[in-house]
Structure 1
């Protein structure tokens, strides 16, 4: 693997500030559902759990089975994923999501881009043994 020089601190700070600002923008939820990304270090794999949801007329995500509003603080009853994807690399999982059997679990381009970024981060954490936290 080739290494590249790190960006100067001022450049890195500007990049971090831009990323923080962009994270505050409004995003429409993907009606196809959401994903939780985990690492299985014993198997040396990335684990991607897909959960279905329904988006109501206010743009809020609801449990597609119960209609319950999905909370961000983990206060909902435990749910089982509708599908679990596993792979050794971000690329392998990306191919499963986009080239696998239809219907595809991602219906929005911004969601696909987000997943790509997060899967790359998760892969790097798997490679270097650091903790992965999904953004």
Structure 2
């Protein structure tokens, strides 16, 4: 059984390193509010430049993947479960996700966040 868990973790790590095109409609920062029992997803807009990098639409500066960035979100979504959050984001007529791989990524992250919320584990967005 341990071998299977290690194999699955290896597959997951390797797939997390692949290239995916950024969604031109923006990106999400996902976090937990344990006291409220909620998963939050802040949506930020961006523009994709000719190099395929996300840039701040106001400043034109590249948005780094790591580190702190001072930007204002456009919307905050919250839910008690991954499913509730997905319904709010994807079934709204003004859905802010335009790529299927982005939607799939968010669904996986929301499940990870829900598990962390229920189990008390740390959640770090992939």
TM over 0.5: yes
- Residue in 1 that maps onto 2:62: 69
Pair 1:93 & 2:85 matched: yes
Task: Give the TM-score of the pair, scaled to structure 2.
Answer: 0.94
Task: State how many pairs are aligned.
Answer: 126
Please list every run of 5 or more consecutive structure 2 residues that lacks an aligned counterpart in the other structure.
none
Q: Supply the distance in 2 between the matched residues of 1:41 and 1:20 (Cα, whole angstroms).
A: 26
- Residue in 2 that maps onto 1:35: 28
1:38-83 deviation digits (Å, cap 9, x = unpaired)? 111121111110000000111000001111111123254x111110
SS of structure 2 residue aligned to 1:134: coil
Q: Give 1 or 2 for the bigger CA radius of gyration.
A: 1
- Residue in 2 that maps onto 1:118: 109
SS of structure 2 residue aligned to 1:121: helix
Please list every run of 5 or more consecutive structure 1 residues that lacks an aligned counterpart in the other structure.
1-7
Give structure 1 regions of 4+ aligned residues with deviation exceeding 4 angstroms: none
